Structures are given as C-alpha cells and as structure tokens.
Amino acid sequence: VSGAVLLEREQLTSGTTWHTAGLLWQLRPSDVEVELLAHTRRVVSQELEQETGLHTGWIQNGGLFIASNRQRLDEYKRLMSLGKAYGVESHVLSPAETKTLYPLLNVDDLYGTLYVPHDGTMDPAGTCTTLTRAAAARGAQVIENCPVTGIRVRTDDFGVRRVAGVETQHGSIQTPCVVNCAGVWASAVGRMAGVKVPLVAIHHAYVVTERIEGIQNMPNVRDHDASVYLRLQGDALSVGGYETNPIFWEEAVKSRTRAAGGLCLKTSTVKGYIPWSDDLRRA
C-alpha cells in the first residue's frame, strides 16, 4: 500500500457508496463470487477490526432467499450444496419453518426459502473509515476534495500508450499506474486517458418504511423472481428492486460535479417509478 494515493473529488462515500443497501449474501451461483464474498466478509467482520481496533458496523442478521416456484427452490438446494463445499452454513426451510424464523413474512405463496445465518449487512461509512485507517497505517494517503482533472499519457519506445501522471487542481502526481475506481463516473475518468469504459448508470428506486414492530434482528430478504430485496434498517425496512427495463441516466456519467443531494433523487422525482411495487406484499 505504501506510496498509494487515493484522490476523491468530494468526501469518501459521497458517490454511490453512502446509500448502498450493503447486503452481503455469501451464496451465489459462481464459485469465484462465493470466494470473493467469503473474503469480503472475513475482512469486514473480523480482520479490519483486529487491525484497526474500529468496528466496521457489520451486522450479522442473516440472509433469506425466497423461492416462489419449484425451480427456484431447486436452485437454492444446489446453492446449499455449493455452500457445503465452501464451508458456508445454510438451511433450506419449509414455509412453516420460515414463518417461525420470520413471523412477519407472508409465506402463503412460498415453496420454501434458503436461510444463511452468517450473511449480513455492511455499513458503508464504517467500512470505508476502517479501510482508509488501515491503508493509511500502511503508508497510503487519502486526499479528499481533490478531483482528478486529467491523466497524462505517453507513448513508449514500442508504441504502447502508458500512464505518466495524474493532474488535479492542486498539482500533479507522477505515476506509471492509475486505478480507476470512480464508480458511475469511471467512463469520464477513463476518457481522460483515452480509454473507453463500457459502463452505464441507471435509475434505481428504493423505499424506506416507517418503524415496524417486531422487525428488529430479522434477516435480509431477497426474492429473485420478484427482483426485490428487503433490507433491515434498525426497526424499519428499506425495500429496493431491480428493473427489467431500466431508465438510463446519462447525466450522472456526464456530470463532473455532484449535484446537491448527491446521487439521490427527490422523492417526487421517483414517484410512479417503482416497477416492483406489486411485490411489496411480501413484507
């Protein structure tokens, strides 16, 4: 890490990260993802805290996948087998067992669920703070309010274009290596070096409920067929979904400065844009 410099045009987490749901599900159909998630979970739930003495805000409230048809339940049984190979504890539950675990859940139309007790929720601010604290202790530098305005590129003796430095309003940094981690703005940063980053931003809607009695400590819920997630947020839920016909958001990629209020649209702007609202019956 020594010698690495993180340049952030505003404050850390001010991009997408501050309003992430932060759901960490350990079981995914690809073994690469399972290993990556196991590593992330280890870092966030144990290693960062051991290294920095700071709690990342990790909450181990468990995760529940909903099967509303037989094929989905079969898939969850396969995921459970995959989990066994990787040491991830999981249980396929009947609707009645699911009701015992999560009494507020409507289980009438369920075939079953997959329960992963060591899944959980990451806190974006806490994770970012502990990560930067650990990186700084190893010699990295974090500079906020410092937008990257250009990337200098040179052509070497073999005709290969190579990074030579990074420009900012406060000066330049000579470096042969740049990691583009600008999220939805990555294509704008890539263009500075003549690189096309194939990435588009899309609108995403989510709803935060009022307080729900009895919801505390319940697992996060993912319904893959309805494309909806229910995230525990203290004693309320935040409910989000993935659109099958999303609205692209070109301004986000074009914009150089973050509008007031960040990436979050006003409630009135998203009104009528909750394509998965029929699925709110689950909670």
Ligand X SMILES: Cc1cc2nc3c(=O)[nH]c(=O)nc-3n(C[C@H](O)[C@H](O)[C@H](O)COP(=O)(O)OP(=O)(O)OC[C@H]3O[C@@H](n4cnc5c(N)ncnc54)[C@H](O)[C@@H]3O)c2cc1C
Q: Binding ligand X by CB under 6 A: which of 96, 104, 181, 200? A: 181
Kindly state whether residue 120 participates in binding ligand X, applying the rule CB under 6 A. Answer: no
Among 148, 193, 228, 252, binds ligand X (CB under 6 A): 148
Query: Shortest distance, CB of residue 9 to ligand X, whole angstroms?
Result: 4
Of 183, 224, 235, 265, the one binding ligand X by CB under 6 A: 183
Instruction: Tell me the C-alpha to C-alpha distance, in Å, between residue 229 and each of 22, 141, 195, 207.
Output: 11, 36, 35, 11
Q: Which is nearer to ligand X, 110 or 252 (CB)?
A: 252
Give every strand in the sheet of 63-67, ordered side by side: 91-93, 112-116, 63-67, 220-223, 228-233, 236-241, 206-208
Our finding on whether 185 is near ligand X (CB under 6 A) is yes
- Contact between 227 and ligand X by CB under 6 A: the answer reads no
CB of 90 to ligand X, least distance (A): 18
- Strand boundaries in the chain, DSSP class E: 5-7, 23-24, 63-67, 91-93, 112-116, 120-121, 141-143, 148-155, 161-168, 171-174, 206-208, 220-223, 228-233, 236-241
C-alpha dihedral sign at 90, 91, 96, 101: negative
Checking DSSP bridges between strand 236-241 and strand 161-168, what pairing results, if any? unpaired
Query: Which residue among 62, 63, 190, 240 contacts ligand X (CB under 6 A)?
Result: 240
Using CB under 6 A, which of 22, 63, 120, 219 touches ligand X? 22
- Write down the least CB distance from residue 159 to ligand X, Å: 28
Q: Which residues bind ligand X (CB under 6 A)?
A: 7-10, 14-17, 19-23, 147-148, 181-183, 185, 189, 204, 206, 240
